[in-house]
Amino acid sequence: MIICIRYESRIVRNEKQIIEAAMFASDHPVEIRQLSELIGKPEDETTLIMNELVEEYGGRESGLEILKSSNTKYLMRVRPEYVEYVRSFAPKELPTPVLRTLSMIAYHQPVKQSDIVRIRGNSTYSHIHTLSEMGLVASASKGHTKILTTTPEFAEYFGLDSNDPDAIRNALNAKLASRIGVTPMYETLLQRCGAPCVTVNAYNPSDDDLALLTDVHTLIISKGYSDKVKKHFSGEIIEIASTTFDDLLQSAEPIGRYGTKRDVSKVISELDELKERYRERSRKMDAELDIKVKPASEMASHILNDLGFTISQTGVMVAPDYLDIAGADGITFPTHSNASADVIERICARYDAILEGLQSRCQRR
């Protein structure tokens, strides 16, 4: 039921704002007839106002959008790229078990109730009862069982253009294709790119992690771990290198196709700016102190080359913190232990540790 907004015409005259408030208050598609009655305008004028709102929400950087779900109905909803972030705040109308049952009905419809119960268990009966009361599922008796299908309200509820079974299957397949899993280190990177994802320990998975992996289509992991992950995951794997800013910039392309163009562009700009800022710092230091370095690992060599320092066997030893160089009077930088969960902050911490260590070490010579 749409929430009615009472107002005095001499005080509130902005029909667009009233409609916007009504759309926000409603949790289901709203008929243009209802909106027309709400503001006291003909339906054709109300439709023009509604179409303006649709265009405005489409052009602004908002977490919400307004969809025309049929010729006469409109729905305000959270943009798909932000759904994962706000799921815990949403009304618990469809608990996960019920949603899984609904997904199975939608994908296999028309489907026998007995087949769904056989797969999902006896609790499915209560799920179907709930879905029927919500108007999302219809049933028709056939022998000793029932045939289940979705309803037009199902399409409206999920913002789909059609309740045609093939269209619903295509939409579910598209949803599955965008189901991304990431290891904890890359969670914030995907969020910055506007890509919905689930975080999972793919290297040493618990039972809960293994359950999550069954729903994941694409998994993003650190470079070099594919063989280990393939033991318990059979979907697409994207390996990412993240030692330097250039590594992450090269990773922006495979990640970018799952995010939003605007957010991915922001991340690329941020990485470019950080890369140039650190290189400028290293150039100034090198000009003042004539710095020579000796990398103690491939990772250290990769970072030092990126910073542009001269590699020399007589240079200052630079090593990751897991190597013991206590007697070498060298410099260490953080890797995984005590590191930030944000991969960009991790790279900054490595560069800062090296530059500050070299500055202090070389000034003492």
pLDDT greater than 70 at residue 350: yes
What is the C-alpha separation between 18 and 176, in angstroms, rounded? 37
pLDDT recorded at residue 327: 60
What is the C-alpha separation between 231 and 227, in angstroms, rounded? 7
Tell me how far CA of residue 225 lies from CA of 83, 185, 213, 221, 241, in angstroms: 29, 14, 16, 7, 11
pLDDT recorded at residue 364: 67
Please tell me the total number of residues recorded for the chain in this structure: 365
pLDDT recorded at residue 282: 93
Listed residue (118, 119, 111) closest to 146, CA to CA: 111
Tell me how far CA of residue 127 lies from CA of 109, 124, 355, in angstroms: 16, 5, 59
pLDDT recorded at residue 70: 62
What one-character DSSP code corresponds to residue 35?
Answer: H
What one-character DSSP code corresponds to residue 87?
Answer: G
User: What is the percentage of the chain residues whose pLDDT exceeds 70?
Assistant: 86
| Bigger pLDDT: 6 vs 48 | 48
In the CATH hierarchy, which fold is given to the domain comprising 15-79?
Arc Repressor Mutant, subunit A (1.10.10)
Assign 309 to helix, strand or coil: coil
pLDDT greater than 70 at residue 90: no
Over residues 335-347, the pLDDT tens digits come to 876 667 788 999 9
Assign 323 to helix, strand or coil: coil
47 neighbors 32 (Cβ within 8 angstroms): yes
Residue with tokens 């019920």: 98
State whether the Cα torsion 178-59-79-102 is positive or negative.
Answer: negative
Q: How many CB atoms lie within 10 A of CB 244?
A: 21
The pLDDT-based confidence of 297 (bands split at 50, 70, 90) is very high
SS3 track for 242-296: CCCHHHHHHHHHHHHCCCCHHHHHHHHHHHHHHHHHHHHHHHHHHHHHCCEEEEC
Is 0.75 surpassed by the pTM of this model? no
User: Average pLDDT, whole number, for the chain?
Assistant: 82
pLDDT recorded at residue 152: 85
**Span(s) in the chain for CATH 1.10.10.10:** 15-79, 92-163
Minimum mean pLDDT range among 76-80, 133-137, 296-300, 319-323 = 76-80
Helix intervals (H) in the chain: 15-25, 32-39, 43-59, 83-86, 96-108, 113-120, 124-133, 152-157, 165-177, 187-192, 207-213, 226-229, 245-256, 261-289, 298-307, 343-363
Minimum mean pLDDT range among 28-37, 190-199, 252-261 = 252-261
User: Exposure of 245 by Cβ count < 10 A (0-12 exposed, 13-18 middle, 19+ buried)?
Assistant: buried
DSSP-assigned beta bridge partners for residue 237? 219
**Span(s) in the chain for CATH 3.40.50.1980:** 178-240
- The average pLDDT across 97-126 equals 84
C-alpha Rg value of the chain to the nearest Å: 28
- The average pLDDT across 47-70 equals 82
- The average pLDDT across 230-241 equals 89
Helix intervals (H) in 88-136: 96-108, 113-120, 124-133
- The average pLDDT across 148-152 equals 90
Over residues 191-223, the pLDDT tens digits come to 888 777 888 899 999 988 888 888 787 899 999
| Bigger pLDDT: 58 vs 8 | 58
Over residues 310-320, the pLDDT tens digits come to 999 989 999 99
Minimum mean pLDDT range among 19-28, 134-143, 203-212 = 19-28
In the CATH hierarchy, which fold is given to the domain comprising 92-163?
Arc Repressor Mutant, subunit A (1.10.10)
The pLDDT-based confidence of 105 (bands split at 50, 70, 90) is confident
78 neighbors 64 (Cβ within 8 angstroms): yes
Assign 107 to helix, strand or coil: helix
Q: Which CATH number fits domain 178-240: 1.20.1270.360, 3.40.50.1980, 3.40.640.10, 1.10.2020.10?
A: 3.40.50.1980
